[in-house]
């Protein structure tokens, strides 16, 4: 994921040079922010220096002092909006998961375990249980790592067809099979009679529209809704099939792995990001939740945009690595969006699970040359993050003794973690893993609330004291 | 009512939402620490002694109140730093959000979180079958809980405003007044289930705090009259 940041400058660079003549002409009209951003971005790259033509360099010098502050200001200003743009889908996903857990009992029944977690937790001694869960978590993590590396290798050797096919199959499975099960369980819970034909029709429609929306084009809201639904379904599957201690261990280890994979120079995710940046491509955009659609319409160069769009056709939930790419670089038309890419995908089921890589969130204000409102810049967050946040909150609501208190506490903790991650992103402007901070907060709050706060609140409520 | 406050006043501005969530987070942390203390105290004492347990609970409540106020103060410090940053970075030299607005939002954050924690398990149980007060407890349990929670949420909002105002102008007596009021309200809740003793004074205190906060925020009787008569 960090690789992205390295590539981004290059992208921006390319974009800047092209945009510059226009900017130059329309200086007064342009958002000074945009220019500042351009300049600051360029300043950040040594490459930029070498590639800029004369004009940009003049401008660069002129505004070089203002750049820093303006840039920060820009990021802060848009920071709040972006944070909210991410709060809403994360909240929605969590709400869906919690609502399902609370109402549909299917997802809290223990019907067995996945093949990836072969050791059971119904053991006699605590030590044995701990050992089993550690082994389970280790197996799961190694599967994820293997998948990530596999994806990186495939990507490096340009086996795009394989990756696309993989993605399509996994999204097919998710959209049809899992939602069929989900629908069935919801009907069972509410005792709604339904015939197979209607169900088939519904699922078929749902699935096909989903495939189109995610892999090809579709209204933004619909695509976002589908992404949220898919994340929720995935999270529900995780919650159902992972035993207790294993789930918590996996959450903890995944966030550590995320941290390592994104920030270490040799990490697979980072390599993926760098490769994608070198090739000037978006990396499996289908695995990312994007809050705005960047349809650049008035730029001269359509090619990068067209390329990107075609690449966006595959929804890669499974793709391990998602890199955030500076859309600026891609689109000459100037829609930047900040992308966070996180990939996380563990597929349960007949198809091999693919590890998800988590891309850091990259926040870069987008410079838009067009009349596109800078406010419309989008943020992208990897779907894996959605899934794991929802797993945490869902598990909290399913198994906590404190019930709603714990759920609420975890929810707030995750949101605060997301805020902090975004803040760090704005400060560092590199790809960052979005998981560790939030998951850490969430875990701490879960265990603390469950064990400490719950008895306290119980006693208070019993006596009706108020604090 | 608190939720409608949220929708009408806070949901528009993303910055306010962030401040709200952060406020809730701070309250949560204070609750965590205070329950940790209580937990330790309980474990270290005799679980059979009823009076001791109740006494410990009271001690826990008081300690929690003090911790909440301490965290409110910490949050105030954090927001001051944030405002300085925002002012420095804003284009026209003034912050996009004033300290009073922040005080209000922080108060609502605290209040919402405390209200949620107090009420939500009750609400969940209320959905299920059962009879209120079947063992001889008061039948008004749910009602009074609801009212008490609402008054607490409002109180937190007003205390937020008062507290921040006191910190701004360095009037220590204002801060002390807020703390004492909080302690009083919690203490009054000890009178439960003698609801007269706890609800009525709480509401009176809330009215007083509301008026005080309103005056501090620049309102006046004239404003009120104009608003009520729908004049501009």
Q: Say what the pLDDT of residue B54 is.
A: 73
Residue listed under structure tokens 């619909």:
A222
Q: Say what the pLDDT of residue A302 is.
A: 36
Mean pLDDT, residues A311-340 taken together: 34
pLDDT at A90 over 50: yes
Q: Say what the pLDDT of residue A336 is.
A: 29
Q: What is the DSSP string of A213-235?
A: HHHS---HHHHHHHHHHHHHHHH
A381 — alpha (psi -120 to 50), left (phi > 0) or beta? beta
The rounded Cα A92 to chain-centroid distance in angstroms is 14
- Coil, strand or helix: which one is A381? strand
Q: Say what the pLDDT of residue A292 is.
A: 59
Q: Say what the pLDDT of residue A228 is.
A: 87
- φ, ψ of residue B8 to 5 degrees: the values are -80, -30
Mean pLDDT, residues A407-413 taken together: 86
Q: Which residues of chain B have a CB within 8 Å of the CB of A67?
A: none
CA distance A292 to A309: 14
Q: Which residues of chain B have a CB within 8 Å of the CB of A80?
A: 14-15, 18
Longest dimension (CA), chain B: 64
As a whole number of Å, the end-to-end CA separation of chain B is: 25
Comparing A302 with A385, the larger pLDDT belongs to A385
CA distance A198 to A447: 44
User: In sequence order, what are the residues at sequence separation of 6 or more whose Cβ sits closer than 8 angstroms to the Cβ of residue A57?
Assistant: A49
- A–B interface: beta-carbon pairs under 8 A: 119
Number of domains in chain B: 1
Q: B171 CA to chain A: closest CA distance, Å?
A: 25
* Residue B133 structure tokens: 């007060």
| B111, B152 Cβ separation under 8 angstroms | yes
Determine, for residues A413 and B25 on separate chains, whether the beta-carbon distance falls below 8 Å: yes
Q: Give A448-451's long-range contacts (Cβ < 8 A, gap of 24+).
A: A448/A409, A448/B32, A448/B36, A449/A400, A449/A402, A449/A405, A449/A406, A449/A409, A449/A410, A449/B32, A450/A396, A450/A400, A450/A401, A450/A402, A450/A406, A451/B39
Residue A386, burial from CB neighbour count under 10 angstroms (0-12, 13-18, 19+): buried
Q: Which residues pair with A361 in a beta bridge?
A: A340
Q: Say what the pLDDT of residue A99 is.
A: 86
Determine, for residues B91 and A73 on separate chains, whether the beta-carbon distance falls below 8 Å: yes
In a domain, A254, yes or no: yes
| A97, A230 Cβ separation under 8 angstroms | no
A366 — alpha (psi -120 to 50), left (phi > 0) or beta? beta
Query: Between β-strands A337-338 and A288-290, what pairing exists: parallel, antiparallel or unpaired?
Result: unpaired
- Coil, strand or helix: which one is B33? helix
CA distance A406 to A447: 9
Comparing A325 with B132, the larger pLDDT belongs to B132
* Residue A453 structure tokens: 């706060």
- Coil, strand or helix: which one is B58? helix
pLDDT (tens digit per residue) in B83-134: 777 766 665 555 566 666 777 777 777 777 777 777 776 666 666 555 555 5
Reading across the β-sheet that carries A378-382, which strands appear in turn? Answer: A288-290, A378-382, A337-338
* Residue A243 structure tokens: 């035993």
Is the backbone peptide bond immediately before B193 cis, with ω within 30 degrees of 0? yes
B198 pLDDT band, cuts 50/70/90, is low
pLDDT (tens digit per residue) in A362-393: 333 333 333 334 444 556 677 888 888 888 88
Domain, as residue range, for B69: 1-229
Q: Say what the pLDDT of residue A370 is.
A: 39
A185 pLDDT band, cuts 50/70/90, is confident
Q: Which of A131-140, A213-222, B215-224 has the lowest mean pLDDT?
A: B215-224
Residue listed under structure tokens 């989008």:
A378
Q: B54 CA to chain A: closest CA distance, Å?
A: 9
Q: Say what the pLDDT of residue A384 is.
A: 81
- Coil, strand or helix: which one is A337? strand
Q: Say what the pLDDT of residue B97 is.
A: 64
| A332, A296 Cβ separation under 8 angstroms | yes
Q: Say what the pLDDT of residue A428 is.
A: 76
Determine, for residues A81 and B190 on separate chains, whether the beta-carbon distance falls below 8 Å: no
Which residue from B minimizes the CA distance to A102?
Answer: B124
In a domain, A3, yes or no: no
Q: Say what the pLDDT of residue A333 is.
A: 31
Domain, as residue range, for A256: 80-292+378-463
Choose the closest CB to A453 out of B31, B65, B96.
B31
Q: Which residues pair with A382 in a beta bridge?
A: A288
* Residue A274 structure tokens: 């760098």
Q: Say what the pLDDT of residue A465 is.
A: 64
Interface of A with B in 10-69 (CB under 8 A): 69
Comparing B189 with A215, the larger pLDDT belongs to A215
Q: Which residues of chain B have a CB within 8 Å of the CB of A77?
A: 89-90, 96
Active site residue A258: yes
Mean pLDDT of chain B: 71
CA distance A155 to A268: 11
| A70, A32 Cβ separation under 8 angstroms | yes
Number of domains in chain A: 1
Determine, for residues A415 and B21 on separate chains, whether the beta-carbon distance falls below 8 Å: yes
Q: Say what the pLDDT of residue A290 is.
A: 65
pLDDT (tens digit per residue) in A344-357: 333 333 333 333 33
* Residue B88 structure tokens: 């420095």
Mark B111-129 as b/e (b = at least 16 C-beta within 10 Å): bbbbbbbbbbbeeeeeeee
Comparing A21 with A75, the larger pLDDT belongs to A75
| A269, A355 Cβ separation under 8 angstroms | no
Determine, for residues A419 and B91 on separate chains, whether the beta-carbon distance falls below 8 Å: no
Choose the closest CB to A465 out of B17, B32, B190.
B190
> Between the CA atoms of A143, A149, A150 and A155, what dihedral angle is there, to the nearest 10 degrees?
150
Determine, for residues B36 and A448 on separate chains, whether the beta-carbon distance falls below 8 Å: yes
| A288, A318 Cβ separation under 8 angstroms | no
CA distance A407 to A403: 6
Q: Say what the pLDDT of residue A207 is.
A: 86
A3 pLDDT band, cuts 50/70/90, is very low
A423 touches chain B (CB under 8 A): no
Q: Which residues of chain A have a CB within 8 Å of the CB of B118?
A: 457, 460-461, 466
Choose the closest CB to A72 out of B89, B122, B192.
B89
* Residue A360 structure tokens: 């850091």
B191 pLDDT band, cuts 50/70/90, is low
Choose the closest CB to B124 out of A404, A460, A467.
A404
A81 touches chain B (CB under 8 A): yes
In a domain, A23, yes or no: no
Mean pLDDT, residues B160-184 taken together: 76
Query: Which of these is catalytic: A30, A67, A258, A316?
Result: A258
In a domain, A315, yes or no: no
pLDDT (tens digit per residue) in A12-70: 333 333 333 433 343 344 333 333 334 433 333 344 334 444 445 555 555 554 555 55
Q: Which residues of chain B have a CB within 8 Å of the CB of A69?
A: 88-89
CA distance A220 to A85: 13
CA distance A147 to A361: 21
Q: Which residues pair with A338 in a beta bridge?
A: A379
CA distance B203 to A426: 44
Active site residue A373: no
- Coil, strand or helix: which one is A378? strand
Mean pLDDT, residues B172-196 taken together: 70
Q: What is the DSSP string of A241-267?
A: HS-HHHHHHHHHHHHHHHHHHHHSTT-
pLDDT at B210 over 70: yes
CA distance B159 to B157: 5
CA A438-A70-A26 angle, 5° bins = 125
Comparing A415 with A294, the larger pLDDT belongs to A415
Q: Which of A175, A183, A58, A150 is nearest to A353 (CA)?
A: A150
pLDDT at A130 over 80: yes
- Coil, strand or helix: which one is B167? helix
- Coil, strand or helix: which one is A151? helix
pLDDT at A455 over 80: no
- Coil, strand or helix: which one is A289? strand
pTM of this prediction exceeds 0.80: no
Q: Say what the pLDDT of residue A371 is.
A: 39
State the sign of the Cα–Cα–Cα–Cα dihedral A54, A58, A63, A67.
Answer: positive
B14 pLDDT band, cuts 50/70/90, is low
Q: Say what the pLDDT of residue A69 is.
A: 53
- Residue A446 burial (CB count, 10 A): 24
* Residue A458 structure tokens: 């119980």
Q: Which of A299, A303, A269 is nearest to A284 (CA)?
A: A269
Q: B76 CA to chain A: closest CA distance, Å?
A: 17
Question: In this predicted complex, what is the ipTM?
Answer: 0.78
Q: Say what the pLDDT of residue B109 is.
A: 74
pLDDT at A327 over 50: no
């Amino acid at each position: 994921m960090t690789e992205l940041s390295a590539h981004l400058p290059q992208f921006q660079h390319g974009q800047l040079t092209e945009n510059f003549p226009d900017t130059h002409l329309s200086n007064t009209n342009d958002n000074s922010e945009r220019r500042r951003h351009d300049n600051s971005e360029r300043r950040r790259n040594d490459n930029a220096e070498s590639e800029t033509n004369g004009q940009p360099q003049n401008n660069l010098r002129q505004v070089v002092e203002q750049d820093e502050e303006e840039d920060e200001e820009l990021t802060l200003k848009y920071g709040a909006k972006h944070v909210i743009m991410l709060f809403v889908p994360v909240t929605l996903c969590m709400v869906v998961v919690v609502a399902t857990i609370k109402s549909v009992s299917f997802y809290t029944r223990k019907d067995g375990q996945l093949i990836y977690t072969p050791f059971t937790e119904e053991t006699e001694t605590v030590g044995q249980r701990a050992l089993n869960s550690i082994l389970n978590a280790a197996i799961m993590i190694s599967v994820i790592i293997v998948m990530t590396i596999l994806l990186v290798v495939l990507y490096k050797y340009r086996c795009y067809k394989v990756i696309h096919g993989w993605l399509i199959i996994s999204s097919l499975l998710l959209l049809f099979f899992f939602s069929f099960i989900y629908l069935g369980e919801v009907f069972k819970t509410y005792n709604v009679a339904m015939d197979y034909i209607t169900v088939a029709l519904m699922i078929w429609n749902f699935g096909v529209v989903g495939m189109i929306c995610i892999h090809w084009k579709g209204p933004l809201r619909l695509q976002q809704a589908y992404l949220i639904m898919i994340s929720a379904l995935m999270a529900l599957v995780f919650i159902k099939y992972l035993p207790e201690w294993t789930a918590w261990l996996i959450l903890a280890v995944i966030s550590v792995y995320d941290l390592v994979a994104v920030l270490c120079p040799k990490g697979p995710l980072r390599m993926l990001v760098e490769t994608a940046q070198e090739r000037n491509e978006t990396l499996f955009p289908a695995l990312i939740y994007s809050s705005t659609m960047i349809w650049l319409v008035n730029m001269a160069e359509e090619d990068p945009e067209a390329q990107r769009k075609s690449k966006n056709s595959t929804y890669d939930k499974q793709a391990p690595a998602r890199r955030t790419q500076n859309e600026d670089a891609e689109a000459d038309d100037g829609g930047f969006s900040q992308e966070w890419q996180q990939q996380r995908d563990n597929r349960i089921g007949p198809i091999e699970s693919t590890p998800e890589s988590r891309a850091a969130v990259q926040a870069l204000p987008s410079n838009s040359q067009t009349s596109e409102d800078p406010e419309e810049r989008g943020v992208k967050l990897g779907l894996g993050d959605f899934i794991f946040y929802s797993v945490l909150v869902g598990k909290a609501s399913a198994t906590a003794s404190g019930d709603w208190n714990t759920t609420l506490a975890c929810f707030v903790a995750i949101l605060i973690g997301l805020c902090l991650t975004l803040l760090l992103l704005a400060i560092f402007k590199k790809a960052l893993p979005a998981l560790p901070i939030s998951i850490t907060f969430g875990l701490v709050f879960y265990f603390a609330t469950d064990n400490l706060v719950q008895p306290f609140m119980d006693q208070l409520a019993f006596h009706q004291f108020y604090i | 009512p608190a939720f409608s406050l949220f929708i009408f006043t806070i949901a528009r501005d993303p910055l306010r939402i962030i401040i709200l969530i952060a406020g809730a987070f701070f309250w949560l942390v204070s609750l965590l620490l205070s329950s940790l203390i209580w937990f330790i105290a309980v474990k270290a004492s005799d679980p059979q002694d009823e009076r001791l347990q109740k006494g410990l609970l009271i001690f826990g409540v008081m300690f929690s109140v003090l911790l909440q106020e301490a965290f409110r103060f910490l949050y105030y410090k954090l927001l001051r730093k944030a405002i300085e940053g925002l002012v420095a970075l804003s284009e026209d030299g003034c912050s996009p959000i004033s300290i009073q607005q922040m005080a209000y939002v922080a108060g609502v954050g605290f209040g919402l979180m405390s209200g949620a924690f107090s009420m939500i398990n009750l609400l969940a149980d209320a959905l299920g079958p059962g009879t209120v007060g079947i063992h001889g407890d008061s039948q008004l349990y749910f009602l009074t809980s609801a009212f008490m929670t609402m008054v607490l949420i409002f109180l937190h909002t007003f205390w937020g405003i008062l507290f921040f105002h006191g910190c701004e102008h360095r009037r220590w007596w204002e801060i002390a007044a807020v703390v004492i009021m909080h302690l009083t309200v919690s203490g009054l809740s000890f009178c439960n289930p003698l609801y007269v003793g706890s609800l009525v004074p709480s509401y009176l205190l809330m009215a007083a705090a509301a008026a005080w906060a309103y005056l501090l925020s620049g309102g006046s009787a004239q404003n009120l009259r104009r608003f009520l008569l729908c004049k501009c």
